């Protein structure tokens, strides 16, 4: 009996405390229903995320403002949040691993986000690498297309498109080794995959006359042929985690993997990059554009928020300072390929003046 | 008569014979079944052991941190501050410059720009923030030379821990031959030391593995779970009591019951979408805040707690209720004075298991913005925050090698919490459980 009453007492106590806490919570949530925000809110691309976070951290440490909050939502998802409207409940900046699309720009404008500052911050290379113990590949974009597309022109001649018949790299190009085609890459939801398909596959596509001709006559089919990766097991989707791809390459020397340049830099003792169209992906070859598979990295700022959310202008200044995005800056240390000297100087000035973009 | 009895005895002995024959087979079947059971348990235990051992081996180094001893001269010229600097100037001062100078002073022979850059990497970028904190706490340090232990950079600490294979040709290595010579020299001078990694428990997230800590996500998890507990426990227990003790049994309560069971099986990402639509878009609560995370997770844990609470209430024997009613207690008194206290251990166990589930959840938090890079440690329910499992997910995705061990270490912390919570559930049951 005493035991039961003791338990009942505790239970009663717990219930009262719980009720009090609930009441408190509800009150606090009502009170805080967003009136102001003193922290920059950034959303967008997972490719820009590792670079934007470095700047944000430095900014948080060296200014009197809070460290910006950065969500990794992907370029498209970030743009959607960004374009939802002006006001503290919407993000101030969105990162993107491609330029803003016309449709997105228009939907922004419809929601009142008319003044957008566009900042091109640098480039990211996409590499096709294999284990350091394996043979070095020297590929062309055409080889990549032929090895990985779902449908390719009949190797026996004719313009007919047939299901990809190539089993070994040797079949694609006699200069390549006699091992089975096995490429590990990111899933279709990834921006890296989009860029790889657009730059490497489509680039190779264009070098095949019969398909290149399609671009003028039937651009829909052209895109479908060039952008569709084979699904018969030669291309393996490995999820969004680039570290996982590196680990798989280490375990399987016959496989090639697709991932960003910054992962190559960090793992140069485990994997080696294939040459594409005669160029090795290095800092220099990506910067001067000779390595063909690289993409621009952007971020977009809502001008209406500058001055309302404290610190945006200082954050822009930090991002566009030589110490950050310059050739010797800390972003380059993290694997971002900087822009040319004069472009940097020019855009830093226009960003400082808060010049907004237009869409042609 | 006699004939008949003979017949029966014949059939009996026939049956016995049959049974005896099949006996061996049936025993064998039972043995096989037991064997499969043992094999299954051994296999799953060994997988668990492999998992935990590999995580521990990988994660343990993260609890140690390597430091480099430096004499740093904080002269105003290098720092770029004037005589009486204000707080802002102190914050922006060039502490990195002082660190670089003191590194160069250790190795006066290093002249080439490339070599200098390689040398600077010995000290983590976090080192300047440590100096910044010291100087801001005591501005009189400017002009003095102080002896400090600063965290070593990612590559160098990787080398000191033996993560770098020196047999790989230098060109392919991130840690070059000259860096190895320097660090060995420093080691011989006793200027390198490994200490307990306080940073890991006292800081929030960072992009530098040496400076990254779990305090931010740990506090985020705690705040989120507080909200979840405070909301889901009272509501779930009240629901269970009403449904079990007071509600009439009709079609409506049947529908409610079926739907509660259905809710328990809904994929958690759906609750995230719901949270985004209702709490953020409609009620305008802030994104990435523990309050929203807690609300969403309590939606998820409610059905679990309701179901276990109802089961606990049901298991209280009717004789207790009858006795109380017989002594003149009202229905409400019966429930709150007798049934509920007796059912409490079962309810608490269900609650803790529900909380443990909520602690490991990431999917619904993705939708409400809690998958984010957040450096500042959250202090209130509306501060941006992230949670432990999200932190693990984010660290696993970063290129720097130092994050591999941080990831495993964070998994260890999360597992520690889960084990502790489940242990509490077991203890509560042991202590208060009544057997009838």
pTM for the model stands at 0.83
Are A169 and A240 members of one domain? yes
| B174: nearest CB among A28, A33, A268 | A268
Q: Is residue A332 part of a domain?
A: yes
Q: What is the pLDDT of residue B392?
A: 94
What pLDDT was estimated at residue A31?
A: 47
Q: Are B88 and B124 in contact (CB under 8 A)?
A: no
**Alpha carbon distance B183, B192 (integer Å):** 8
Check residue B38 and give its pLDDT: 97
Residues of A in contact with B233 (CB under 8 A): 18
Phi, psi (deg, nearest 5) at residue B126 = -70, -20
DSSP string of A171-204? HH-TTS-SSB--EEE--TTSHHHHHHIIIIIHHH
Q: Is the pLDDT of residue A213 over 90?
A: no
Distance from CA of A234 to the nearest CA of B (A): 25
Say if the Cβ atoms of A4 and B338 lie within 8 Å.
yes
Are both A203 and A216 inside the same structural domain?
A: yes
Rounded Cα gap, residues A182 and A238, in angstroms = 12
Please check whether residue A83 lies inside any domain of the structure: yes
Q: Are residues A97 and A132 in the same domain?
A: no
Kindly list the residues from chain B whose CB atom is less than 8 angstroms away from the CB atom of residue A72: 371-373, 394
B117: chain A residues, CB-CB within 8 Å: 328
pLDDT band at A105 (very low <50, low <70, confident <90, very high): very high
Domain membership flag for residue A231? yes
In a domain, A193, yes or no: yes
Which one has a higher pLDDT value, B129 or A21? B129
Same domain? For A216 and A308 the reply is no
In chain B, what residues touch A242 (CB-CB under 8 Å)?
Answer: 397, 399
Tell me which chain B residue has its CA closest to the CA of residue A90.
B287
Q: Does A269 touch chain B (CB under 8 A)?
A: yes
Check whether residue A273 and residue A312 sit in a common domain.
no
Contacts of B192 (CB under 8 A, 6+ apart): B66, B67, B68, B69, B152, B160, B183, B186
CATH number, domain of A78, equals 3.40.190.10
Contact B286 A56 (CB under 8 A): no
pLDDT at residue B303 in the model: 93
Same domain, A218 and A347: no
* A208 & A89 share domain: no
| Interfacial A residues in 317-346 facing B (CB < 8 Å) | 328, 330, 334-335
Cα nearest neighbour of A3 on chain B? B432
CB atoms within 10 A of CB B45: 10
**Alpha-carbon span B364 to B221, nearest angstrom:** 14
Domain range list for chain B: 2-60, 63-203, 215-432
- The answer to whether residue A29 is domain-embedded is no
Q: For residue A3, tell me if it sits in a domain.
A: no
- The residue-averaged pLDDT of A61-85 equals 90
In a shared domain, residues A86 and A148: no
Q: A54 contacts in B (CB within 8 Å)?
A: 207
Distance in Å, alpha carbon of B33 to nearest chain A alpha carbon: 38
A29 interfaces chain B, CB cutoff of 8 Å: yes
The dihedral of CA B82, B85, B88, B93: what is its sign? positive
Domain assignment of residue A142, given as a range: 125-294
Put simply, whether A102 touches B (Cβ < 8 Å) is no
Q: Are residues A322 and A283 in the same domain?
A: no
Domain match, A138 and A269 both: yes
Same structural domain, A148 and A232: yes
Provide the residue-wise pLDDT of chain B in tens; the chain has 436 residues: 455 555 556 566 788 888 888 888 899 999 999 999 999 999 999 999 999 999 999 999 889 889 999 898 888 888 888 777 788 888 888 888 888 888 888 888 888 888 888 888 889 888 888 888 888 888 888 888 889 999 998 888 888 888 877 887 777 777 888 888 888 888 888 888 888 988 899 999 999 888 899 999 999 999 999 999 999 999 999 999 999 999 998 999 999 999 999 998 899 899 999 999 999 888 888 889 999 999 999 999 999 999 999 999 999 999 999 999 999 999 999 999 999 999 998 999 899 989 999 999 988 998 898 989 999 999 999 899 999 999 999 999 888 888 989 999 999 999 999 999 889 888 888 887 776 6
Residues A113 and A151 in one domain: no
Nearest CB partner across the interface for B369, out of A22, A66, A71: A71
Q: Which of A69, A89, A335 has its CB closest to that of B374?
A: A69
What is residue A320's predicted lDDT score, i.e. its pLDDT?
Answer: 92
Which tens digits make up the pLDDT trace of A228-285?
999 888 999 887 788 888 889 988 999 999 998 888 888 888 899 999 999 999 888 8
Q: How much is the ipTM here?
A: 0.81
Contacts of B432 in chain A (CB under 8 A): 7
Q: What is the DSSP string of B87-128?
A: HHHHHHS-HHHHHHHHHHHH-TT--SHHHHHHHHTTB-THHH
Assess A243–B contact: CB distance below 8 Å, yes or no.
Answer: yes
A63 belongs to a structural domain = yes
Best of B204, B280, B312, B341 to disrupt the A interface (most A CBs within 10 Å) is: B341
A39 inside 8 A of chain B by CB = yes
In CATH, what number does B215-432 get?
1.10.3720.10
Q: Provide the domain count of chain A.
A: 2
Contact B168 A132 (CB under 8 A): yes
- Write the residue in A22, A265, A328 that is nearest to B231 by C-beta: A22
Size of interface A-B (CB pairs under 8 A): 145
């Amino acid at each position: 009996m005493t035991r039961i009453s003791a338990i009942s007492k505790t239970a009663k106590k717990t219930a009262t405390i719980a009720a009090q806490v609930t009441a408190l919570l509800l009150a606090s949530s009502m009170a805080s229903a967003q009136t102001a925000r003193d922290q920059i809110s950034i959303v967008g691309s997972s490719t820009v995320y590792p670079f934007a976070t470095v700047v944000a951290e430095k900014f948080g440490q060296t200014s009197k403002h809070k460290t910006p909050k950065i969500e990794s939502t992907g370029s498209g998802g970030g743009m959607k949040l960004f374009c939802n409207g002006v006001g503290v409940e919407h993000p101030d900046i969105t990162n993107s691993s491609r330029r803003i699309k016309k449709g997105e720009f228009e939907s922004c404008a419809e929601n009142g986000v008319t003044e957008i500052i566009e900042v091109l911050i640098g480039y990211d290379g996409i590499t096709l690498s294999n284990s350091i113990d394996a043979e070095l590949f020297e590929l062309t974009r055409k080889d990549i297309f032929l090895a990985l597309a779902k449908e390719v022109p009949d190797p026996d001649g004719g313009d007919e498109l047939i299901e990809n018949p190539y089993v070994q790299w040797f079949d694609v190009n006699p200069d390549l080794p006699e091992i089975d085609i096995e490429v590990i890459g990111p899933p279709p939801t990834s921006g890296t995959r989009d860029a790889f398909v657009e730059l490497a596959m489509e680039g190779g596509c264009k070098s095949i006359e019969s398909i290149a001709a399609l671009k003028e006559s039937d651009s829909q089919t052209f895109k479908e042929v060039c952008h569709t990766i084979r699904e018969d097991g030669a291309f393996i989707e490995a999820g969004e985690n680039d570290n996982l791809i590196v680990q798989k390459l280490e375990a399987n020397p016959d496989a090639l993997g697709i991932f960003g340049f910054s992962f190559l830099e960090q793992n140069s003792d485990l994997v080696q990059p294939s040459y594409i169209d005669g160029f090795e992906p290095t800092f220099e070859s990506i910067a001067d554009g000779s390595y063909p598979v690289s993409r621009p990295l952007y971020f977009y700022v809502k001008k209406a928020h500058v001055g309302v959310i404290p610190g945006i202008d200082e954050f822009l200044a930090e991002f566009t300072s030589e110490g950050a995005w310059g050739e010797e800056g800390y972003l380059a240390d993290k694997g971002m390929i900087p822009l040319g000297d004069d472009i940097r100087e020019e855009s830093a000035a226009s960003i400082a003046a808060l010049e907004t973009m237009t869409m042609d | 008569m006699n004939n008949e009895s003979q017949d029966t005895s014949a059939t009996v002995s026939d049956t016995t014979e049959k049974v005896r024959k099949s006996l061996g087979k049936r025993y064998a079947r039972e043995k096989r079944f037991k064997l499969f059971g043992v094999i299954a348990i051994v296999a799953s235990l060994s997988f668990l052991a492999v998992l935990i051992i590999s995580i521990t081996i990988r994660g343990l180094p993260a609890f140690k941190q390597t430091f480099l001893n430096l004499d740093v001269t904080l002269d105003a010229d290098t720092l770029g501050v004037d005589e009486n600097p204000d707080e802002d100037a102190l914050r922006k001062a060039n502490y990195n410059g002082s660190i670089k100078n003191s590194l160069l002073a250790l190795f006066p022979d290093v002249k080439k720009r490339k070599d200098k850059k390689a040398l600077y990497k010995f000290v983590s970028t976090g080192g300047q923030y440590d100096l910044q904190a010291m100087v801001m706490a005591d501005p009189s340090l400017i002009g003095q030379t102080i002896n400090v232990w600063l965290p070593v950079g990612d590559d160098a600490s990787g080398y000191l821990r033996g993560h770098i294979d020196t047999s790989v040709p230098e060109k392919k290595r991130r840690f070059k031959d000259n860096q190895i010579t320097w660090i060995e020299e420093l080691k011989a001078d006793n200027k390198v030391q490994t200490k307990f990694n306080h940073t890991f428990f006292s800081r929030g997230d960072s992009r530098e593995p040496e400076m990254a800590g779990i305090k931010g996500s740990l506090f985020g998890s705690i705040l989120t779970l507080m909200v979840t507990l405070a909301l889901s426990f009272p509501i779930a227990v009240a629901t269970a009591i009403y449904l079990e003790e007071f509600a009439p049994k009709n079609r409506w309560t049947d529908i409610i019951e079926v739907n509660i069971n259905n809710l328990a099986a809904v994929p958690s990402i759906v609750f995230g979408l719901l949270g985004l639509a209702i709490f953020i878009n409609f009620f305008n609560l802030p994104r990435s805040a523990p309050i929203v995370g807690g609300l969403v997770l309590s939606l998820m844990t409610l059905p679990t707690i309701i179901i276990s609470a109802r089961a606990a209430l049901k298991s209280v024997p009717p004789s207790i209720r009858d006795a109380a009613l017989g002594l003149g207690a009202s229905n409400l008194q019966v429930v709150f004075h007798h049934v509920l206290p007796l059912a409490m251990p079962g309810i608490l166990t269900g609650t803790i298991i529900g909380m443990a589930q909520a602690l490991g959840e990431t999917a619904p938090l993705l939708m409400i913005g809690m998958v984010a890079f957040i450096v500042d440690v959250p202090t209130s329910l509306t501060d941006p925050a992230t949670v432990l499992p999200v932190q693990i997910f984010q660290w696993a995705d970063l290129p720097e090698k130092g994050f591999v061990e941080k990831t495993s270490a964070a998994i260890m912390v999360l597992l520690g919490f889960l084990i502790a919570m489940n242990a509490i559930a077991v203890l509560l049951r042991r202590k208060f459980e009544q057997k009838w």
